[in-house]
Amino acid sequence: MTFSRRHMILTSAATFLAGCGAGGGTAPVVARPDPALEAGLRPQPNASYDAWVAAFKTRAQARGISASTLNRAFRGQGFLPGVIERDRNQTEFKRSLEDYLNIVAPEEKVVFGRRSFAAQSRALAQVEARYGVPADILGSIWGMESYFGTKRGKIPVISATSTLAWEGRRGRFFESNLMDALRIVQTGDARPDQLLGSWAGAMGHTQLIPNAYQEHAVDFDGDGKRDIWSNNPIDAFATTARFLSKAGWRRGQIWGLEVTTPSGFDGPTGRKAKKSVAQWQALGVRAANGGRIPDHSSAALLAPMGLGRPSFLVFHNFNMILRYNPSENYGIGVGYLAGRLIGGGPLRAGFGPDKYGLVLSERKALQNGLTQRGFDAGKADGVFGKKTEAAIRGFQRANGLAETGEPSRQLLGMLG
Ligand code: CA
């Protein structure tokens, strides 16, 4: 219930953390800061935090956490200023669907994901058989949350949640997650050094916060541990499937599909305007691939970037994905990537020009032009972030242009 919204808000940024594969090998017994982490993500002295931890330990013992668990769990942990920095820098900035899909499901990720998905097909089929949530949806969530298990996060969860609990902006929420993280240690589901995750404490293959773990985690393979941390993702798949099943996922139904609308279409769009499939068809809505639209009862029409651009008819199960993460872009991203994992092609409709009048190939050309002239625009993915903005500003400054940091056709003309 609280899982969905909080989970999303806390983990949306985590997806973009540059975590690298959590390796196998021998894990240290004591949580040791990863030397690859930036300084702000390694414990720093902070007397106020230490005093908070001492008081917290008393509260935790009153709640049944043993002194030995507390000692084990807090050894090597500490105040992480980098976590607070990330918490404060969460942008509410909403990406366009085009940018969003280029970030969460670019072609190279589809290629990588198909291999990962194939390697887990047996596990996913078993989980699907039990919970009724399709393998492709589970595989897609896995891809969205941890890049198919390769970016599970490297920040010690005890340190991260205790730092945010001490800081206090959402103190009760993070204290509750810290308490649940300690319960994970106490029950032996994981050792403290295994509890690594995002800056906000989201862990494992499908990025669960400790509260969500305690409420939903499943020991699917029956090895006695609800293990979402190891290289084997099966418990994480089952946990996510169980969550979606309990939320109300309808077995045998799809999330939605890409559709087209006729010119002059005057029907409503948006998740609240529901109609039967027959009503949508009467308004001229058609499957973009020319096939049949399945009838899963009422449906809504989503056109996030306007009619004539990628549009989707979404059914009940789309809303179940939003229980996992309430962003419509996330829901479309999950559905889209799921289709790609099982061999589907890119979206049929084009996105057309963006608000600067540029299409994707032009945005990429602009980024390449900037980088070639010594203004590093980052990866030429057509998605404009801080790095591209800084490169544009640099180029504008060097050429005596007004420093806007925004792309334009004029700029493309100078760089192309
Ligand atoms: Ca297990």
pLDDT in tens, 110-150: 999 999 999 999 999 999 999 999 999 999 999 999 999 99
Give every CB contact of residue 52 below 8 A, 6+ residues apart in sequence: 162, 165, 166
Residue 235 Cα to ligand 1 middle (Å)? 6
What's the whole-number average pLDDT of the chain?
A: 91
Average pLDDT over residues 172-186: 97
For residue 293, the 8-state DSSP code is P
Average pLDDT over residues 253-269: 96
Q: How far apart (Å, rounded) are the C-alpha atoms in residues 245 and 344? A: 25
Average pLDDT over residues 395-411: 95
Residue 189 Cα to ligand 1 middle (Å)? 9
Res. 408: pLDDT tops 60: yes
Which pLDDT score, from 0 to 100, does residue 7 have? Answer: 47
Asked if 11 contacts 141 with a C-beta cutoff of 8 angstroms, the reply is no
Which pLDDT score, from 0 to 100, does residue 416 have? Answer: 75
- The sign one gets for the Cα dihedral 173, 178, 184, 190 is positive
Which pLDDT score, from 0 to 100, does residue 324 have? Answer: 87
CA distances from 405 to 38, 370, 390, 416 (A): 28, 12, 7, 17
Structure tokens at 46: 């902070």
Residue 173 Cα to ligand 1 middle (Å)? 27
Residue 233 Cα to ligand 1 middle (Å)? 9
Please spell the DSSP secondary structure of 65-108, one letter per residue.
Answer: --HHHHHHHHTT--B-HHHHHHHHT---PPPPHHHHHHHHS-HH
Which pLDDT score, from 0 to 100, does residue 33 have? Answer: 60
Residue 364 Cα to ligand 1 middle (Å)? 44
Residue 147 Cα to ligand 1 middle (Å)? 21
**Opening angle at CA 347, ends 251 and 325, nearest 5:** 50
Residue 223 Cα to ligand 1 middle (Å)? 5
Residue 161 Cα to ligand 1 middle (Å)? 24
Q: How far apart (Å, rounded) are the C-alpha atoms in residues 264 and 276? A: 20
- Percent of the chain residues topping a pLDDT of 70: 91
Distance from chain centroid for Cα 117: 17
Q: Which of 271, 269, 255, 280 is nearest to 336 (CA)?
A: 255
Q: How far apart (Å, rounded) are the C-alpha atoms in residues 386 and 394? A: 12
Average pLDDT over residues 209-213: 94
pLDDT band at 18 (very low <50, low <70, confident <90, very high): very low
Which pLDDT score, from 0 to 100, does residue 21 have? Answer: 30
pLDDT band at 331 (very low <50, low <70, confident <90, very high): very high
Residue 24 Cα to ligand 1 middle (Å)? 17
Q: How far apart (Å, rounded) are the C-alpha atoms in residues 291 and 364? A: 33
Residue 122 Cα to ligand 1 middle (Å)? 16
Residue 404 Cα to ligand 1 middle (Å)? 53
Q: How far apart (Å, rounded) are the C-alpha atoms in residues 186 and 234? A: 23
Residue 120 Cα to ligand 1 middle (Å)? 15
Residue 227 Cα to ligand 1 middle (Å)? 5
Residue 188 Cα to ligand 1 middle (Å)? 12
Res. 17: pLDDT tops 70: no
Asked if 277 contacts 314 with a C-beta cutoff of 8 angstroms, the reply is no
Residue 219 Cα to ligand 1 middle (Å)? 4
Average pLDDT over residues 396-414: 94
Tens of pLDDT along 231-240? Answer: 999 999 999 9
- Percent of the chain residues topping a pLDDT of 90: 86
Residue 201 Cα to ligand 1 middle (Å)? 21
Residue 177 Cα to ligand 1 middle (Å)? 21
Which pLDDT score, from 0 to 100, does residue 15 have? Answer: 39
Structure tokens at 203: 């862990």
Which pLDDT score, from 0 to 100, does residue 38 have? Answer: 86
For residue 251, the 8-state DSSP code is T
Residue 198 Cα to ligand 1 middle (Å)? 22
Which pLDDT score, from 0 to 100, does residue 311 have? Answer: 98
Residue 184 Cα to ligand 1 middle (Å)? 14
Residue 288 Cα to ligand 1 middle (Å)? 41
Which pLDDT score, from 0 to 100, does residue 23 have? Answer: 31
Please spell the DSSP secondary structure of 162-210, one letter per residue.
Answer: HHHHHH-TTHHHHHHHHHHHHHHHHHTSS-GGG-EE-TT--BTTTTB-H
Res. 14: pLDDT tops 80: no
Higher pLDDT residue, 38 or 46?
A: 46
Lowest average pLDDT, out of 57-66, 155-164, 407-416, goes to: 407-416
The dihedral over CA atoms of 11, 16, 18, 19, expressed in degrees to the nearest 10, equals 30
Res. 251: pLDDT tops 90: yes
Residue 284 Cα to ligand 1 middle (Å)? 49
Higher pLDDT residue, 119 or 89?
A: 119
Which pLDDT score, from 0 to 100, does residue 27 have? Answer: 37
Alpha-helical runs (H) found in 261-385: 277-282, 316-324, 328-341, 360-372
Give every CB contact of residue 238 below 8 A, 6+ residues apart in sequence: 127, 130, 131, 218, 220
Res. 8: pLDDT tops 60: no
Res. 319: pLDDT tops 60: yes
Lowest average pLDDT, out of 60-64, 73-77, 324-328, goes to: 324-328
Residue 217 Cα to ligand 1 middle (Å)? 10
